[in-house]
A and B are shown apart, each in its own frame.
Chain A
Amino acid sequence: GQNIDQPTEMTATEGAIVQINCTYQTSGFNGLFWYQQHAGEAPTFLSYNVLDGLEEKGRFSSFLSRSKGYSYLLLKELQMKDSASYLCAVTFREAGTALIFGKGTTLSVSS
């Protein structure tokens, strides 16, 4: 199974911190990606985790626990332009190298 779950919607205010969680079935796990997608645009790459721990990239950080089948994307110092869909995607060995996406989390940032 490849069930990838993440919350459907989240809201936050400018300057705040938000954490978007993602869980997945651990069998066959290869790596986990986070993508950002603004309405009407293609997804853009944010982060990649293959080992346990935290990867930090500026305002964005991503965490992975392979034993728990769990990841989160942490967005700090939120800006209005961060309003977008955030997609958790996983590669599984039985799916080759294709990305399998969760349903996405729509984040709305208000002033």
Chain B
Amino acid sequence: SAVISQKPSRDICQRGTSLTIQCQVDSQVTMMFWYRQQPGQSLTLIATANQGSEATYESGFVIDKFPISRPNLTFSTLTVSNMSPEDSSIYLCSVEVPETDGYGYTFGSGTRLTVV
């Protein structure tokens, strides 16, 4: 299965600034997904990033706040723009990978963001 390198692993940022999170996959994948996990909660899908086209955002998430790049089949970035304390969360990227009995999804190790 694929291995994802996600960085930074954590950061503390000032409100009003932006942070770009990177995910590098060790194999080519069609779709990459970005999730947010707020403290004590489950994962919420932010957007789906398909190489060569604009990302598809879920309800409640907009491109101006969470711009995504997908320049090739192994790399994607998510930017959290104009941050406020409410953006403090763990952000994870994910890709779909084949498994022995079907398919599954691998996750990056996450970026723990604290906005002060």
Interface of A toward B, CB cutoff 8 Å: 31, 33, 41-45, 48, 50, 55, 85, 87, 89, 95-104
Contacts and interface: CB of A to CB of B under 8 A. Distances in A.
Contacts of A99: 33, 43, 45, 94, 105
A45 B99 contact: yes
A95 B57 CA distance: 10
Given A48-B104, A50-B102, A87-B42, 16 more contacts: A33-B104, A33-B105, A42-B108, A45-B105, A48-B102, A89-B43, A97-B31, A97-B96, A98-B31, A98-B33, A98-B45, A98-B48, A99-B94, A101-B44, A102-B42, A103-B41
Contacts, number: 56
Q: How large is the interface on B (under 10, 10 to 19, 20 to 34, 35 or more residues)?
A: 20 to 34
Nearest to B106: A45
A104 B33 CA distance: 19
Contacts of B43: 43, 87, 89, 99, 101
